[in-house]
Structure 1
Amino acid sequence: MRTISVVVTLIALAAAVGVVNMEQSTLDAEMLKAGEGRKWYRGNLHTHSHWSDGDDYLEMIALWYRERDYDFLSFTDHNVLANTERWVDVEKTKGGRKAYDKLKARFPDWVEERTRNDRLEVRLRTFEEVSEKIGVPDEFLLIQGEEISDRFEKYPIHMNINNVVEVIPPMGGNSVYETIQNNVNAAISQRERTGQPMIIHLNHPNFGYAVTAEDLMKVQGEKFFEVYNGHPGVHNSGDHHHVSVERLWDVVLAHRLGILGLPVMYGLAVDDGHNYHNIPSRASEPGRGWVMVLADELTPESLIDALEAGRFYASSGVALQQVISSPKRLRVEVDSEPGTTYTIEFIGTRKGFDPVGKPIVDDKGNELHATHHYGDDIGAVLSRHEGTSAEYRFEGDELYVRARITSSTPHPNPSEPGEFERAWTQPVVGPAAIPDLPR
């Protein structure tokens, strides 16, 4: 992986739920960059295996990422942790004989197998076993996670918790919002009870068009969601009745920072990989989206600390050389590729936006479960630049500003047709959302 020199001056937000409370000391220009004890780490926080509905074994998936210069990977199978004894019928797994043959060829003395009723079975290795065998101290870290797969009525509501200790069963609720909040509360409870750092985030809000901006904007106690998910079936771009996930992000940010007094919401890019054979194809495969995290060391604790501080960006292919952010400006510099051009857009919402949305109705006039229609003053493109670097200077009325960088290079294995490689910086809280900031 190329060395990335990135400078970030970040706004510190209150970690606890409630009105944004910014100490003056956090407004000073603090330079955070790779070096002086910090490094950039590339990782994926959403992965599936034979422990639920993936088509490969933990150890083979871990090798795929390790051999492609990832620094960390979290396994997040549905409603299960890989910490018990489990045997599977080889032919009945999603990967079938192909996955078994590849595992056997790579680890001939590692595979535990038996025959029962003339059927070949393999013991699935636990997370701890795989972590010990495939992980490399200070080079490649495996993190235990879970995808809490819940629902309200017909709407699937999935949330990933990373560095989890115990399985969290789906908590349910009387609405989409309440279901999300109940699962967040369970994650917070486990973190407080065990003392182990862990984070929970909302997965693919447009999967089944389950989660609206009005649902997500009210959630307290967590501030992460997937702005890019590599699964082809999660509708990142929305449709004629449903907004894109990125548009949903702006609606959430505007209301949390401008109306509700809640902390910023950060955007993650993930793979949501299920299929690890015959790559590339139109299946849900690895390598489509990731996060770059600036951390003190390659440990779950350090990575989570950096994520919660916003010291990361999301990417589906674009690398950033430098990002400078403060209450006065946001500057982006791309780690450019030869022959590639870049469009840098600064996107934000100003104080005084219209917070009232219009419900979406179908052709018969029935209101749909969909994010409302809001004016163009939410998530406006404040400036657009062609080139490898650009800067936006705050005018004083911005609630937040974020940058989206789009490459001229098509994504080599896109989740949707027509994708180009991109990167997303995290939102910088603007002057209008910071109490008592001198204008």
Structure 2
Amino acid sequence: MKSRFRFSLLTLMLLVCHTSAAQDAVNEDPILQDPILQDQVRYWKGNLHTHSLWSDGDQFPEMIADWYRQRGYNFLALTDHNVISAGQRWMSLKKIVDRSDSGIVDRYRQRFGEHWVEQRKSPKNGDEEIRLKPLNEFRALLETRGEFLMIQAEEISDRSEGKPVHINATNVAEALMPAGGDTVREAMQNNLRMILEHEKSHGRPVLPHINHPNFGYAMTAEDLAAVVAEKFFEVYNGHPGVNQLGDEHHASIELMWDQINAIRFAAGVEPMMGIATDDSHEYHGRAGSRPGRGWVMVRSRFLTPEYLIAAMRQGEFYASSGVSLTQHDFDPQTRTLTVTVDAVEGESYRIDFITSLKPGTDPHKIGLVVHSHDGDKATYQMKDNECYIRALVTSNAAHHDPSFKDQKKQAWTQPVGWPTK
């Protein structure tokens, strides 16, 4: 009897020691103890509209990604026109130099090494060619867990009624060809339907967003309001040619946003949310659509495409062209929006709270500034006759690389206070 007791006691002691040792191993595991995996919500900075030599940009994709990585971005989507950076692609050295400058390949070699850059004579005509590296080949050189992530994406570039219809699809599995349509609105709907079917068939979240609606004055607020499955569009695009401010016959993008959401509110449709992007093409200091002008700040627990997209679908992000926020919270009980700026020394800020009044209000105003506050923190409580509330924060400081005249640094929060179903 005593021997059985001693055996059981010994087994228990060994089990306790094993469990303790296993727990110590977990506690000492540097991966499991990494702050990145400690389930903390934080902001991640990213650009969702970027072009490279794979379409009409003028730089190698890994050079572009390295530019963003070195400047504190956490994620980047390469969005070349109707193509993803995948497969074998060789490009004429002359075309590369003509598009950029004579030093582009030397800088490429200097950054990534002589053995990384692949050059050959074309088997067709003997011309010098450089191989464009695909994303799945170069991402390992740049990605860092919890710091920098590349997301495969595409700008689906369509046309209808002689106008450009461009929609970005972020986190695609393969390239999607334009679906077409007899009207701009139909082309938008057809392409969006294709993206959503792609998402379902591949079992991965894909974020579609409408690009630069005023480019070629292709899209109206009515068009964007009608495509109800689309929830995202570019409230700011850093390309100088996208008519951000509109003209005497066309609304600015800022006003268009409120027009879209006033229509959607009346129809009982979810609001459109605003994204800021670079739409970068030019990376050598010349005039054009340069990087670093606009971005999104996404509030998420983890830096993965799935978590980022889920957070954006919940409105957990803001758009920026230079202003950073530490807080943009809406209390649904009190219907109060609070915005706090991450203030920069020497800058001052104006926080405008913007809404559209409900149908039947006299007068029925759209894009109405209902309250303004000078300072780095402000709170606004919605009134019963307001459809939603959003905040626009404007710094007195000029944008570091403006895309239009007299541009200031700004940030845009998403419309909140929308009726719940």
When the two structures are superposed, what TM-score results if normalisation uses the length of structure 1? 0.83
Distance in structure 2 (CA, Å) of the matches to 1:67 and 1:393: 40
The letter for the 1-side match of 2:253 is: V
Map of 1:54-93 to 2, 5 A cutoff? 54-93=57-96
Please give the secondary structure, in 1, of the residue aligned with 2:104.
helix
Please give the secondary structure, in 2, of the residue aligned with 1:428.
coil
Map of 1:214-253 to 2, 5 A cutoff? 214-253=222-261
1:296 Cα deviation after fit: 1.4
Higher helix proportion, which one?
2
The residue number in structure 2 matching 1:392 is 380
The letter for the 1-side match of 2:116 is: W
Distance in structure 2 (CA, Å) of the matches to 1:106 and 1:87: 20
One of 410, 414, 426 as aligned partner of 2:414: 426
When the two chains are superposed, the root-mean-square deviation of aligned CA atoms in Å is 1.5
Distance in structure 1 (CA, Å) of the matches to 2:278 and 2:84: 19
Task: Indicate the percent of aligned positions where both proteins have the same amino acid.
Answer: 47
The residue number in structure 1 matching 2:351 is 344
Kindly indicate whether residue 137 of structure 2 is the aligned counterpart of residue 129 of structure 1. yes
Shift in CA distance, 292/336, structure 1 to aligned 2, threshold 3 Å: same
Kindly indicate whether residue 170 of structure 2 is the aligned counterpart of residue 162 of structure 1. yes
Counterpart contact for 1:264–1:429, Cα < 8 Å: no
The residue number in structure 1 matching 2:116 is 110
Q: Which has the higher contact order (CA 8 A, sep 6+)?
A: 1
Distance in structure 2 (CA, Å) of the matches to 1:41 and 1:132: 20
The letter for the 2-side match of 1:84 is: G
Please give the secondary structure, in 2, of the residue aligned with 1:40.
strand
Counterpart contact for 1:79–1:148, Cα < 8 Å: yes
For residues 10-33 of structure 1, give each alpha carbon's deviation from its aligned partner in whole angstroms, at most 9, with x where no partner exists. xxxxxxxxxxxxxxxxxxxxxxxx
1:98 Cα deviation after fit: 2.7
The letter for the 1-side match of 2:103 is: K
Please give the secondary structure, in 1, of the residue aligned with 2:250.
coil
Distance in structure 2 (CA, Å) of the matches to 1:354 and 1:153: 36
1:139 Cα deviation after fit: 1.0
Distance in structure 1 (CA, Å) of the matches to 2:43 and 2:186: 36
The residue number in structure 2 matching 1:312 is 317
Kindly indicate whether residue 329 of structure 2 is the aligned counterpart of residue 324 of structure 1. yes
For residues 270-304 of structure 1, give each alpha carbon's deviation from its aligned partner in whole angstroms, at most 9, with x where no partner exists. 000000002xx531100000000011111000100
Counterpart contact for 2:358–2:364, Cα < 8 Å: no
Task: Tell me which structure has the larger Cα radius of gyration.
Answer: 2
Counterpart contact for 2:280–2:290, Cα < 8 Å: yes
One of 140, 151, 154 as aligned partner of 1:146: 154
Counterpart contact for 1:188–1:221, Cα < 8 Å: no
The residue number in structure 2 matching 1:294 is 299
The letter for the 2-side match of 1:276 is: Y
1:104 Cα deviation after fit: 1.4
One of 179, 183, 186 as aligned partner of 1:178: 186
When the two structures are superposed, what TM-score results if normalisation uses the length of structure 2? 0.87
Which runs of 4 or more aligned residues in structure 1 lie more than 4 Å from their structure 2 counterparts after TM superposition? none
The letter for the 1-side match of 2:355 is: G
Unaligned runs of 5+ in 1: 1-34, 356-374
The residue number in structure 2 matching 1:20 is none
Counterpart contact for 1:232–1:282, Cα < 8 Å: no
Unaligned runs of 5+ in 2: 1-37
Please give the secondary structure, in 1, of the residue aligned with 2:372.
strand
Map of 1:276-295 to 2, 5 A cutoff? 276-278=283-285, 281-295=286-300
1:376 Cα deviation after fit: 6.7
Map of 1:374-385 to 2, 5 A cutoff? 377-385=365-373
Counterpart contact for 2:338–2:380, Cα < 8 Å: yes
The letter for the 1-side match of 2:200 is: E
1:434 Cα deviation after fit: 4.2
